[in-house]
Amino acid sequence: MSVTTVRLQPEVEESLLAIADKLHRTKSWLINQALREFIQRQEQEQMRWQETLSAMESVAQGRVVSGETVHTWLQSWGSDNELSPPKTGQ
């Protein structure tokens, strides 16, 4: 395991110590946990951004399903004549 030095503002240090004491954990454990969660959120945001760009490209190329088609499909749910999910270009 590597060692990294971090300068904390006094109020952050105080809060960190209080939480560590309350949870019976070390400051290092809390910092590692916080960084893990931060990194995971950043990775999810990047993935969502890439999905957004891909969706925008699909729209620009006309690969869309009309709202009316989706609405008709949703209305068919649970009926005897339930429709298959719509595909682009319909």
* pLDDT, tens only, 37-58: 999 999 999 999 999 999 999 9
Is 3 part of a structural domain of the chain?
no
Confidence (pLDDT) at 19: 98
Is 17 part of a structural domain of the chain?
yes
Is 88 part of a structural domain of the chain?
no
Whole-prediction pTM: 0.69
Q: How many domains does the chain have?
A: 1
Q: Residue 84: is its pLDDT beyond 90?
A: yes
Is 24 part of a structural domain of the chain?
yes
40-79 core/surface letters (b: 16 or more CB in 10 A; e: else): eeeeeeeeeeeeeeeeeeeeeeeeeeeeebeeebeeeeee
Is 1 part of a structural domain of the chain?
no
Which residue range is the domain that position 67 belongs to?
Answer: 10-76
